[in-house]
Structure 1
Amino acid sequence: MAQDFQISISPQMAISELIDTIGRKSFTGELIDYYTISCANDAEVIVAVFEKLFFRAGNRVTLTVTIHNIDGVTHVHSVGGGGGDCLFRFDWGAADSFSEMPYNALSRYLIK
């Protein structure tokens, strides 16, 4: 399940918060890599990939987060993936749970 929302902090502050939260609150979660693109008018786009071992799914799931402020407001989009076995994509909700972490971590900065 994908998440889309807007926040009141910069993309750099948001990615720092996510790295801290996923590393601290998620015992097996870790940042794989992130890439920043600087744009005109101090705008930027950040794409980050996280990975986490879910014991209930029996394997690792990924979380891809895109954060940008191209139009002056910081947008966050996250989607989880992986977690299924072979031909089956049943992951006991692991990918959905992981894709909700950015929303939960940044909820105090939500723009209503």
Structure 2
Amino acid sequence: MRHYLEFTVDVKPFQAVQLILEDKDIKSTLIFEDYKVTENVEKEISILVFEQFFLRTGNTASLTVTVDNFTGVTIVKCISAGNGDGILDIDWGAGKALLKPVRKKLESNIIEISKET
């Protein structure tokens, strides 16, 4: 089962990523990171991919986080995947468990939550 969370924050993308990666538990599951700045130095994008094994589902789940300010505000998008089990794709809370630490690290900077599934 996929879970999706999108929200805006009051810091620049690279600052948001620094806040996320301050948490050693989150950083320990990081498997990929990429940072780009456009010619116009004020436009930034970061892509982070995390992977974690969940015993309750017997699966390795992933979390992809993109942080950009292409629209003028910093938008954080979090997508968990691969966390479901069986034909019904039941995740036993693993998908939301992946999203929770990222949201918590940025909680004091969140302006608005746009989408949450």
Question: How many residues in Structure 1 have an aligned counterpart in Structure 2?
Answer: 109
Unaligned runs of 5+ in 2: 113-117
Give the root-mean-square deviation of aligned CA atoms. 2.0
Q: Percent identity?
A: 28
* Equivalent position of 2:19 in the other structure: 17
User: Using CA pairs below 8 Å that are at least 6 residues apart, which structure has the higher relative contact order?
Assistant: 2
3-state SS, counterpart of residue 36 of structure 1: strand
* Equivalent position of 1:34 in the other structure: 33
Q: Which has the higher strand share?
A: 2
Cα deviation, 1:1-57, whole Å, max 9, x if unaligned, reads: 211101111111111221222x33x5x951101111211242111111011122222
Distance between the aligned counterparts of 1:18 and 1:57, measured in 2? 25
Q: Which has the higher helix share?
A: 1
Unaligned runs of 5+ in 1: none
Write the letter of the residue equivalent to 2:9: I
Cα pair distance change 1:50/1:74, threshold 3 Å? same
Cα pair distance change 1:67/1:4, threshold 3 Å? same
Residue pair 1:7, 1:110 contacting (<8 A) in 2 also: yes
Write the letter of the residue equivalent to 2:66: T
Deviation of 1:65 (Å):
0.3
1:65 aligns with 2:78: no
